[in-house]
Amino acid sequence: MNASPSQPHPAEWQETQGLLPTVERDLPAGRHQFHKERLMAQIHDDLDNSSSHPARTRAAKPRNPFLRRAIVLPVAACALTGAIVTGVRMFGTSGSVTGLATGPVLTTRIGTADVHGVSQLLDRISLAAQETPSPEASAGQYIYIETKTASTHVRTVDDKSSVVSDALHTRQTWQSPDGHKGWLIEPGNTDSAGTSLDSKVEPYLNAPSYDYLATLPADPDALLKKIYTETKGHGPSPDAEAFTTIGDLLSQSYPPGKLSAALYRAAAKIPGVVKVDDAVDAAGRHGVAVARLDEASGQRTEWIFDKKTFTFLGERTVQVKGTSGDHGLIKPGMIVDTEAITERAIVNGMKQTPSHTG
């Protein structure tokens, strides 16, 4: 995987009128529980600093905040806790707004999926990843990831629902190699200075650190077995959660080349994985995709790669069959989430970027 993909070009969005600020979003199937777990775990962590609960259960462990684009929590999770966690913004049906739901509704041509050739494609992607120099981060340094991202969701105000999309915006994260120090800057979810994502939770599969990634097996079979074991009971199905977990590790962390290669080969063993002839990332770059359809929601998650170099460009989730969201307002051709990696590097300080090393 290249550390810094080619510079993005403007994405082409289909425009609609009357877009309003978002106050509540609909999440893909299986994601409400994830937000609830992360919220509860963060509250517990803040209250007891993890010292009084050294062996927290799986249900209380959050996914790494670096691994998910959505920082806005569903209202259901807020009602369950009755608390607001520092650094996480929450919204009611008529309350605060992010100011991001100003873009046109995101739509795309649905690429043709083909089960044939996906194993060969993943094999070529794996070889390319293995030949890419591995990043080396030391204590005191940070893994910096910059992405272009946007999403589509259902907004409900005064019992009236409509589809809205966030404007394409930049998200920046920094994470220490041990995973305990972090920072997020994202319009709509933080102010211009950003917010701390420091964590006392010990790294694990769904909240890995750079150091933790180095401990994962590079054998595809052993790696896939670990993924299925540690994500048991999560997501809409074991296969769907395994695919999601691998996608998280690829898109929002910085795995060494050997591990990336193993992740791609492991993905080839997951039932339902297909090849998509053409997909476009959030930066407007066309590529070939490795994808999997969630039959329950009708949404397909696509990992997008450069067609020549097989560099990982980003990922997106597209409604490809049926409808989802309140009143079935999310329809085929709508992009539910999209993300393009525009920079990924090792830097020497928090809030430092590769272009500004002073």
Do residues 89 and 71 touch, judged by C-beta distance below 8 A?
yes
The mean per-residue pLDDT over the stretch 250-266 comes to: 93
Q: Do residues 277 and 112 make contact, with C-beta atoms less than 8 angstroms apart?
A: yes
The span from the CA of 353 to the CA of 17, in Å, is 36
In a domain? residue 190: yes
Domain range for 50: 31-347
Who wins on pLDDT, 82 or 42? 42
Render 151-216 in DSSP notation, one character per residue: EEEEEEETTEEEEEEPPPEEEEEEE-TTSS-EEEE-BTTB-TT-EE----SPPBTTB--HHHHTTS
Closest of 282, 254, 274 to residue 340, by C-alpha: 282
Residue 355 covered by a domain: no
pLDDT at 83 over 90: no
Total domains present in the chain: 1
**For the whole model, what pTM was predicted?**
0.76
Question: Quick check: is 1 in a domain?
Answer: no
| 26, part of any domain | no
Q: What is the predicted pLDDT for the residue at 79?
A: 32
329 inside domain: yes
Is the distance from CB of 253 to CB of 126 less than 8 angstroms? no
Q: What is the pLDDT of residues 116-148, one digit of tens each?
A: 999 999 999 999 999 998 889 999 999 999 999
